[in-house]
Amino acid sequence: MNEVKERPVARSARTEHTQHSIRKIGVVGAGQMGSGIAHVCALSGFHVLLNDIAPERVSEGLATISGNLARQVSRQRISEEERQAAIKRITAATTLEDLAECDIVIEAATEKEETKRRIFSALCPSLKPGAIIGTNTSSISITRLAAATDRPERFIGIHFMNPVPLMELVEVIRGIATDDATFEATKQFIAKLGKQIAVSEDFPAFIVNRILLPMINEAIYTLYEGVGNVEAIDTAMRLGAHHPMGPLELADFIGLDTCLSVMQVLHEGLADSKYRPCPLLVKYVEAGWLGRKTQRGFYDYRGDKPVPTR
């Protein structure tokens, strides 16, 4: 009987220690994903340092967070006091050295492997030995990215869904070297954010994008081959499959450059022709028509309402 009583106490002590080991969060990349991650961390009581290679992006990210928090207040999802407290917990970090005291740093830069590797090489010398590095990559090998750091055992994939404040899921991906302590601390950290976890193996694009992006790519092929126009394809999937938005509208929301990057990772990593990026997707990216963020993609967003471009 004594042994049975002792086990919960020991487990509770370990849990408490792990939970309290993550207090201060660093976020590298102040774009749509990085600002969303900073938003949910601050709202959950963590102190956040937000960094970007371009200082103006940090200012824009802070403005986005403030606006989104205000929207949550207007919809009565949080109180005005919670909004003010969250804003006070976020600080701009002008250099990577400012992240020296962070317990975990989450990289949320563009979905390009060489960019992420450069960030990790510059970041590692500034971090304390026990700090965890998380990457918000949506497709790139965690094991390979971890090898660019000085702490592969403290490196893990933490893939938030977009938009971060609204989406309930976070994919957690261990690299081959990720240790159990890092995995457990990460799971407890995400639980404190109020998110649900799906654990994925370290294969190209993980779970969500392994399924979602080929569907989007197939929708673009359907457009490319003239099976239907933009409006017909999106209407068909909204009303015929009860998707909340059509696949081409969703591609614009994600960013066509990101869609292309994920498809390239799938195509190269799995060597299967079914993952070949549609030439029309490549053409749109080459034109700089990346979706909502550039005001043009499969829809033109420059007027009062989106208008299909094909």
Tokens of 285: 């990216």
Scored b (16 or more CB within 10 A) or e, 145-169 reads bbebbebbebbbbbbbbbebbeeee
Pairing outcome for strands 196-200 and 132-135: unpaired
How many whole angstroms separate alpha carbon 236 and alpha carbon 234? 5
Tokens of residue 287, six digits: 């034109």
Short-list 264, 256, 167, 263, CA closest to 215: 263
Residue 80 φ then ψ, to 5°: -60, -35
CB 60 within 8 A of CB 82: no
List active site positions: 138, 159, 171, 209
Contact 139, 133 (CB under 8 A): no
Task: Tell me how far apart the alpha carbons of residues 231 and 239 are, in angstroms, rounded to a whole number.
Answer: 12
Q: How far apart are CA 180 and CA 186, in angstroms?
A: 10
Query: What torsion do the CA atoms of 306, 253, 192, 124 make, to the nearest 10 degrees?
Result: -140
What are 177's two structure tokens?
Answer: 């070297």
Which token pair is 135?
């990457």
